[in-house]
């Protein structure tokens, strides 16, 4: 998906002009046009401004469904104890083997 196409579709669905978005965001209309036509890639900060102007959550700029995507496919994160060096696996006990001063 090209972000400019998505922004244009959301703007047109809400019956807003590029001038309306310019007034709501403070971004120049020519910049908005360049983004919508794929000539410029906006920063995350700019995307946040555009999402606020369109009155949509930021994820909707990247996702085409009705609800946020489910995150069940992500791997389970390791706990701090599992990640900490010297606490598990072959590094376990490394510090306890060092002579104390």
pLDDT for the residue numbered 91: 62
Q: H or E segment at 35? A: helix 29-36
Residue 22 reports pLDDT greater than 70: yes
Q: Would you place residue 5 in the very low, low, confident or very high pLDDT band (cuts 50, 70, 90)?
A: very high
Q: Which residue has the tokens 């965001």?
A: 25
Looking at residue 59, its pLDDT comes to 87
Tokens 């469904």 map to which residue?
A: 65
Q: What are the tens digits of pLDDT across the range 40-97?
A: 999 999 999 999 999 999 988 888 777 766 766 556 666 666 666 665 566 666 656 6
pLDDT at 39 over 80: yes
pLDDT confidence of residue 101: 63
């Amino acid at each position: 998906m090209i972000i400019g196409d998505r922004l244009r579709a959301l703007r047109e669905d809400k019956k807003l002009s590029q001038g309306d978005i310019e007034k709501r965001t403070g971004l120049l209309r020519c910049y908005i046009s360049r983004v919508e036509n794929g000539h410029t890639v906006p920063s995350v900060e700019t995307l946040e401004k555009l999402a606020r102007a369109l009155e949509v959550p930021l994820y909707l700029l990247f996702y085409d469904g009705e609800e946020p995507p489910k995150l069940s496919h992500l791997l389970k994160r390791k706990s701090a104890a599992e990640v900490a060096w010297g606490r598990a696996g072959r590094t376990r006990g490394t510090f306890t083997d060092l002579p104390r001063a």
